[in-house]
C-alpha cells in the first residue's frame, strides 16, 4: 500500500481545479454532517506544547473507520522571520489497519476549513437576513473568511479594520476579484462593527486582548470570535460574553483555550452539535446576541482531511510515497534493512 502525499503545490492545484468557493461550500456541509455524528467520534482536547513565543499542537480524533490528526503551530511573531504564524500538516489513516492513506499540507487547508467552520456556525446561529460583516484582523485568514461568508451565507458588505494598515491594503487588493462585494475600510474597530450583522475577529497576538468591548454590542449581532485559541489569548472583553448565548465546539478544550477561559468554570455554554441535532435551541429571536467562541477542533480537520483525500483522488492530484515499508515478511524488519545493504559492518 502507498500513502498519497499532497504537498503545497498540489493543494494550490487542487483549489484551482475544484474552485475555492466550491471547496468552501462543500466543507461547510462536510463539517456540519460530521458534527451531527458527534457521538461517533473519539474526542479529546488537543495536546499542546506552550512556550513564551507560541504553541505547537497535535489535534487527533477518529470514528470507527478513519483516524486523523493535525500538527499545527501558532507563533504570532513568525512574520519577522518570513514564516507564517500558523503552519500545519495532517494525516488520515485507516482505523482497521492503522495505515496512513493521506499525508497533506494543512496550512492552506486550515485557512479554508476555519472559514468553513465559521460559516457553518453562522448559518446555524446568525440572523437569517444577515448581509453585513465586520472583519477585525486582516491577516492571513481574512480573505478566506470574507469569501466564505459572501459565497455561502450571502454577506454582501464587509467592513475592515486592522491596526496594521498594510494588512488591510492587502485584503482590499485580494478582494477585488469579487466586485459585487461592497468593501468598506473602517477607521477603528468600533467604526467597523457599528451596525454589522456579524462580527468576525481573526487577530493573532498571543495576549489577553479586548478587541470587542461591551458597548460595541448591538441587538441581534452574531459574534464569530476566531482568534482567541490558546491559553492566555483572548479577543472579547469578559463582559461581552454576558451579552448573549455562547456556543463552542468542544467544551473541555474551549474552557482552556477560548474566550471563555476568562469566565468561571460553571459559566453556561452550548456545544454546536447539540443545536445541530435539535437538543438545544440556537438563536431564540432576532434581537438576541449569539457568540461563537471558536478555537478550532480536531473534528473539523478530520472532515477536511477526508474531503482532501476524496477530491485529490478524484483529480489524480498528489503522488504516492513510501511512508511505510512494504515487506515480503512483516516480521523481518531487520531483513528489510539488510536487503538495502544499509549495514555498517566495520565501526571504529
Q: pLDDT category, 343, cuts 50, 70, 90?
A: low
The predicted structure's pLDDT at residue 260: 96
Residue pointed to by grid coordinates 451531527: 36
**Is-above-0.85 flag for pTM?**
yes
Catalytic: 229?
yes
Q: Which residue in 229, 259, 293, 301 is the catalytic one?
A: 229
Q: Is the pLDDT of residue 344 over 80?
A: no
The predicted structure's pLDDT at residue 183: 98
User: How far is Cα 136 from Cα 192, in angstroms, rounded to an integer?
Assistant: 8
The predicted structure's pLDDT at residue 347: 47
Domains and CATH numbers, the chain: 3-108+300-337 (3.30.1780.10), 127-297 (3.40.50.720)
The dihedral through the CA atoms of 184, 238, 116, 77 has a sign that is positive
Q: Which residue has the higher pLDDT, 345 or 280?
A: 280
Average pLDDT of the chain?
Answer: 94
The predicted structure's pLDDT at residue 325: 87
Q: What is the mean pLDDT of residues 40-66?
A: 94
Q: pLDDT category, 212, cuts 50, 70, 90?
A: very high
Q: pLDDT category, 61, cuts 50, 70, 90?
A: very high
Q: pLDDT category, 341, cuts 50, 70, 90?
A: low
Q: Is the pLDDT of residue 2 over 60?
A: yes
CA angle 50, 140, 216 (to 5 degrees): 85
The predicted structure's pLDDT at residue 86: 86
How do residues 223-257 score in pLDDT, each as one tens digit? 999 987 778 889 999 999 999 999 999 999 999 99
How do residues 78-117 score in pLDDT, each as one tens digit? 989 999 888 999 999 999 999 999 999 999 999 999 999 9
The percentage of residues in the chain with a pLDDT greater than 90, rounded to a whole number, is 83
Residue 84: alpha-carbon gap to chain centroid: 15
How do residues 147-186 score in pLDDT, each as one tens digit? 999 999 999 999 999 999 999 999 999 999 999 999 999 9
H-helix or E-strand containing 122? helix 107-125
User: How far is Cα 133 from Cα 175, in angstroms, rounded to an integer?
Assistant: 14
User: How far is Cα 138 from Cα 145, in angstroms, rounded to an integer?
Assistant: 10
The predicted structure's pLDDT at residue 345: 52
Q: 3-class SS at 100? A: strand
- The beta strand positions in the chain, using DSSP E, are 3-6, 47-50, 55-62, 66-74, 88-94, 100-105, 132-136, 157-161, 182-185, 198-201, 208-212, 222-225, 234-236, 245-248, 270-271, 290-293, 319-321
Amino acid at each position: 500500500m502507498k500513502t498519497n502525499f499532497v504537498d503545497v503545490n498540489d493543494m494550490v492545484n487542487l483549489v484551482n481545479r475544484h474552485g475555492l468557493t466550491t471547496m468552501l461550500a462543500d466543507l461547510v456541509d462536510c463539517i456540519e454532517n460530521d458534527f451531527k455524528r458527534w457521538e461517533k467520534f473519539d474526542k479529546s482536547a488537543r495536546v499542546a506544547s506552550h512556550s513564551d513565543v507560541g504553541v505547537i499542537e497535535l489535534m487527533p480524533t477518529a470514528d470507527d473507520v478513519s483516524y486523523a490528526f493535525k500538527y499545527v503551530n501558532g507563533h504570532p511573531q513568525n512574520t519577522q522571520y518570513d514564516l507564517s504564524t500558523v503552519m500545519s500538516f495532517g494525516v488520515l489513516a485507516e482505523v482497521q489497519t492503522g495505515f496512513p492513506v493521506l499525508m497533506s499540507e494543512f496550512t492552506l487547508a486550515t485557512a479554508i476549513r476555519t472559514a468553513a467552520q465559521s460559516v457553518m456556525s453562522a448559518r446555524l446561529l446568525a440572523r437569517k437576513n444577515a448581509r453585513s460583516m465586520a472583519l477585525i484582523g486582516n491577516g492571513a485568514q481574512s480573505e478566506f473568511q470574507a469569501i466564505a461568508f459572501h459565497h455561502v451565507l450571502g454577506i454582501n458588505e464587509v467592513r475592515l479594520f486592522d491596526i496594521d494598515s498594510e494588512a488591510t491594503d492587502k485584503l482590499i487588493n485580494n478582494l477585488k476579484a469579487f466586485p459585487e462585494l461592497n468593501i468598506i475600510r473602517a477607521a477603528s474597530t468600533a467604526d467597523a462593527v457599528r451596525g454589522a450583522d456579524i462580527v468576525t475577529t481573526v487577530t493573532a497576538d498571543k495576549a489577553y486582548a479586548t478587541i470587542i468591548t461591551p458597548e460595541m454590542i448591538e441587538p441581534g449581532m452574531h459574534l464569530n470570535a476566531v482568534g482567541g485559541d490558546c491559553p492566555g489569548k483572548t479577543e472579547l472583553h469578559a463582559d461581552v460574553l454576558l451579552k448573549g448565548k455562547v456556543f463552542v465546539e468542544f467544551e473541555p478544550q474551549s474552557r482552556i483555550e477560548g474566550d471563555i477561559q476568562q469566565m468561571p468554570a460553571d459559566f453556561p455554554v452550548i456545544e454546536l452539535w447539540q443545536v445541530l441535532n435539535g437538543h438545544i435551541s440556537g438563536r431564540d429571536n432576532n434581537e438576541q446576541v449569539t457568540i461563537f467562541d471558536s478555537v478550532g477542533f480536531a473534528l473539523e480537520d478530520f472532515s477536511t482531511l477526508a474531503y482532501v483525500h476524496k477530491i485529490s483522488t478524484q483529480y489524480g492530484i498528489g503522488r504516492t510515497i513510501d511512508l511505510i515499508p512494504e515487506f515480503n515478511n512483516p516480521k523481518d524488519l531487520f531483513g528489510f534493512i539488510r536487503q538495502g545493504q544499509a549495514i555498517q559492518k566495520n565501526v571504529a
